[in-house]
Amino acid sequence: MSPLRLQGRRAVVSGGSRGVGRAVCLAYLREGATVVATARSATHLDGLRRDAEALPGVLAGTLAMDLADPESVRAAAAGARALLGRVDIVVNNAAVLGPRGPLTATPFGDLRSALAVNVAGPVELVAALADALSDGAVIINVTSGAAGRARWGAYGLTKAALNIATDMLAEDLAERRVRCVAINPGPVRTEMRHAAYPDEDPATVRHPRSIVEPFVAIAAGAPVEGVLEASEWTR
Ligand SMILES: NC(=O)c1ccc[n+]([C@@H]2O[C@H](COP(=O)([O-])OP(=O)(O)OC[C@H]3O[C@@H](n4cnc5c(N)ncnc54)[C@H](OP(=O)(O)O)[C@@H]3O)[C@@H](O)[C@H]2O)c1
């Protein structure tokens, strides 16, 4: 049997209740990691808690965190630090899609809430965990092919900003040898995908479990930088 690649590694994953985040949590637990998962309500994570029981890793905690609320982010970070001590992996996965359309037609409130959840919240989470990050820790920001894409409204803007934040954090944390990577999962069969493409047959879109390999390999130490397409992962 091959050794577990994330044995002894401690991860915080946002948006672990469904979709990509849940698949990443399960992949990390399959590889022996200790994981703290978040969602807006801890009860959303009951299903993950049940599935985790059969896996070799440890789901150390499920925490409520609303990325739109900095107090909630800081409280969740404090909770994760209390549960994990040091943190080796942060996956900023949770996000909102919001209404699509031209930026000029995007209501200010939608713009502000998407920027909070998709950009300011993830940066705040890293800031609140910074002192606990281990030497050689990795931050994985989940981005999108829609980054900077016209007529994707606030979502396109926020994912472009998250890509830039990834590079800025990499420089900010370079002295600590913390790596920062953005992964675009590509089209994945989730609630968000269905909201974006309601007429699409979900059976034609990949299941989240099929895109987790780069999340595992990078968490395990693969030397990757910048923005990465999960579909092009060949290592
Ligand atoms: N699916 C795709 O095809 C696709 C393509 C490219 C990129 N992505 C990216 O992949 C990531 C995951 O997307 P997904 O498709 O898995 O989406 P999803 O099914 O809608 O799941 C979103 C997750 O984010 C959490 N969340 C939503 N609002 C939140 C908030 N205000 N604070 C904290 N957590 C919040 C949700 O948890 P609760 O609702 O339980 O709180 C849920 O766990 C996102 O960053 C998305 O942009 C997805």
- Rounded Cα–Cα distance for residues 221 and 62 (Å): 25
Give the distance (Å) from ligand 1 centre to CA of residue 15.
Answer: 6
Looking at residue 1, its pLDDT comes to 67
- What one-letter code names the amino acid at 217? A
Query: Which atom of ligand 1 lies at the shortest distance from residue 146's CA?
Result: 6
- Rounded Cα–Cα distance for residues 160 and 143 (Å): 8
Give the total number of structural domains in the chain: 1
pTM of the model: 0.98
- Rounded Cα–Cα distance for residues 106 and 226 (Å): 29
Is position 65 within any domain? yes
Q: Cα dist. 60→4, 54, 82, 203, 205 in Å?
A: 18, 14, 10, 33, 31
Residue to probe by mutation, ligand 1, list 40, 200, 205, most atoms within 8 Å of CB: 40
Is position 130 within any domain? yes
Is position 5 within any domain? no
- Rounded Cα–Cα distance for residues 57 and 220 (Å): 14
Is position 30 within any domain? yes
Which helix (H) or strand (E) segment holds residue 100: the answer is none
Question: Does residue 159 carry a catalytic annotation?
Answer: yes
Cross-strand partners of 132: none
Q: Tell me which residues have their CB closer than 6 angstroms to ligand 1.
A: 14-15, 17-21, 39-40, 44, 65-68, 93-96, 117, 142, 144, 184-185, 187-188, 190-193
Q: Which residue has the tokens 């990795």?
A: 138
Give the distance (Å) from ligand 1 centre to CA of residue 206.
Answer: 16
Is position 2 within any domain? no
Range of the domain at 74: 10-230
Write down the H helix ranges in the chain.
Answer: 19-30, 46-52, 70-84, 108-115, 121-129, 153-172, 191-196, 213-219
> Is 213:205 a contact under the CB 8 Å cutoff?
no
Looking at residue 232, its pLDDT comes to 87
Q: If DSSP codes are grouped into helix, strand and coil, which group holds residue 182?
A: strand
Q: Which has the closest alpha carbon to 41: 11, 70, 18? A: 18
- Rounded Cα–Cα distance for residues 61 and 68 (Å): 21
> Is 155:114 a contact under the CB 8 Å cutoff?
yes
- What one-letter code names the amino acid at 127? A
Is position 235 within any domain? no
Which entry of 155, 183, 208, 219 is annotated as an active-site residue? Answer: 155
pLDDT averages per 10-residue partition of the chain, 235 residues:
92 98 98 98 97 98 98 98 98 97 96 98 98 97 97 97 98 96 98 97 96 97 92 81
Cross-strand partners of 39: 64
Is position 194 within any domain? yes
Name the phi and psi angles at 14, rounded to 5.
Answer: -90, 150
Which entry of 22, 159, 189, 193 is annotated as an active-site residue? Answer: 159
Is position 113 within any domain? yes
Looking at residue 154, its pLDDT comes to 97
Residue 2: exposed, middle, or buried by beta-carbon count in 10 A (0-12, 13-18, 19+)? exposed
Count the helices and strands in the chain (H runs, E runs).
Answer: 8, 7
Residue nearest to atom 7 of ligand 1 (CA): 144
Name the phi and psi angles at 154, rounded to 5.
Answer: -60, -35
Give the distance (Å) from ligand 1 centre to CA of residue 53.
Answer: 23
Query: Which atom of ligand 1 lies at the shortest distance from residue 142's CA?
Result: 45
Give the distance (Å) from ligand 1 centre to CA of residue 175.
Answer: 31
Question: Does residue 155 carry a catalytic annotation?
Answer: yes
Q: What residues contact 217, with CB distance under 8 A and at least 6 apart?
A: 5, 233, 235
Q: What is the CATH number of the domain that holds 155?
A: 3.40.50.720
